[in-house]
Amino acid sequence: MMQFDPQPPGAVNSTDTETAGTELLVRTTDHGVAVVTLNRPQDANALSVSMQTALSQAFRELAVDPSVRCIVITGGERVFSAGGDIRGMVDCQPVDILRRHTERLWEPIQRCPKPIIAAVCGFAYGGGAELAMHCDIILAGESASFAQPEIRIGIMPGIGGTQRLVRAVGKFNAMRMLLSGRPISAQEASVMGLVSQVFPDDRVVPEALQLASHIASMPTLATLQIKEVVLAGMDASLDTGLMLERKASQLLFATHDQKEGMQSFIDKRKPRFNGQ
């Protein structure tokens, strides 16, 4: 299924290794960053079952690849994803949808221990918005817009849109988006807390790569622990979250990078982290 492909959007330099699938491009750079590019431009990167399967497989592999320390997912400078593949669902019966078990396909993204940055330009609608919300940081272009328009075709979000959106923007903003189906702009999404930063469209992927490279240069075990504790603590009580934070913080004092980081600070030199 995988084949070599020339330089996709978001390339960093010519020494990067590249793999590609028909609907998904996966590029691993020499800076510890993987770039996952949705590649159905003729269909506005609609999330077909085959593309979801490719995403699932890609994230399974990236999660255990020791050379990858941060992941960027993008659809390029024109569109992120317009959502689910309606043509593939229009004649489905409830059991057909049940048998797809899309929750299993999305679990590798949800469970990925490594930081994921969404670089969003153009539409991020329906499943596209839900894919972005699976990420840890969302950088948006000025053209980006976000929507959960499922209600307009008689259904509702089914990949976490009702749950992740309310956690990101609160009940009242989430209800407005979910019940109206209307899109919001990148600037409005930023004000609501759905988007981390907004950039000109042609700067979104470069900014995402720069941020990903910076995160990848940080102590790997600290990065993994921070993500794990933040996500685990979101739905826990404050006391439980604080306990998880304390335990993870204590554990990091057993790492080489903690010793190196503190000693380099004292020595006033650049740290040499090795991920241990």
Q: Which stretches of the chain are assigned E, i.e. beta strand?
A: 17-20, 24-28, 33-38, 70-74, 116-120, 123-125, 137-141, 145-147, 184-185, 197-199
Contacts with 225 (C-beta within 8 Å, 6 or more apart), sequence order: 248, 251, 252
Element (H, E) at 238: helix 238-252
**pLDDT tens, residue by residue, 205-258:** 999 999 999 999 999 999 999 999 999 999 999 999 999 999 999 999 999 999
Q: Tell me what pLDDT residue 21 has.
A: 54
Instruction: Please compute the mean of the pLDDT values over residues 188-216 and round it to a whole number.
Output: 97
pLDDT digits (tens, 9 = 90+) for 23-71: 999 999 989 999 999 999 999 999 988 999 999 999 999 999 999 999 9
**Per-residue model confidence as pLDDT tens digits over 59-99:** 999 999 999 999 999 999 899 999 887 777 777 788 877 87
Q: Rounded to an integer, what distance in angstroms lies between the CA atom of residue 99 and that of residue 160?
A: 18
Mean pLDDT of 91-115: 87
CA-closest candidate to residue 73, choices 123, 116, 16? 116
Asked whether residue 180 carries a pLDDT value surpassing 90, the answer given is yes
Beta strands in 81-224 (DSSP E): 116-120, 123-125, 137-141, 145-147, 184-185, 197-199
- Identify the CA nearest to 73 among candidates 58, 61, 85, 60: 58
CB atoms within 10 A of CB 263: 11
What is this structure's pTM? 0.89
Domains of the chain: 17-216 (3.90.226.10), 220-267 (1.10.12)
Per-residue pLDDT at 7: 34
Q: What are the Cα distances from residue 49, in Å, to 46, 109, 111, 154?
A: 10, 15, 19, 20
CB of 31 closer than 8 Å to CB of 46? no
**CA-derived radius of gyration, the chain:** 19
Structure tokens at 194: 């759905």
pLDDT at 19 over 50: no
* Average of per-residue pLDDT across 145-156: 94
Residue 3 has pLDDT above 90, yes or no: no
Smallest CA-to-CA distance from 138 within 54, 55, 80, 221 is with: 80
pLDDT at 142: 97
Of 131 and 18, which is predicted with more confidence? 131
Measured CA distances, 95 to 51, 52, 133 (Å): 21, 19, 27
pLDDT of residue 1: 27
CB contact at 8 A, 156 and 162: yes
Q: What is the mean pLDDT of the chain?
A: 89
| pLDDT on residue 16 | 45
Span of 80-89, 113-122, 128-137, 248-257 with lowest mean pLDDT: 80-89
> With bands split at pLDDT 50, 70 and 90, how would you rate the model's confidence at 17?
very low
Distance, in Å, from the CA atom of 62 to the CA atom of 23, rounded to the nearest integer, reads: 17
pLDDT score recorded for residue 89: 74
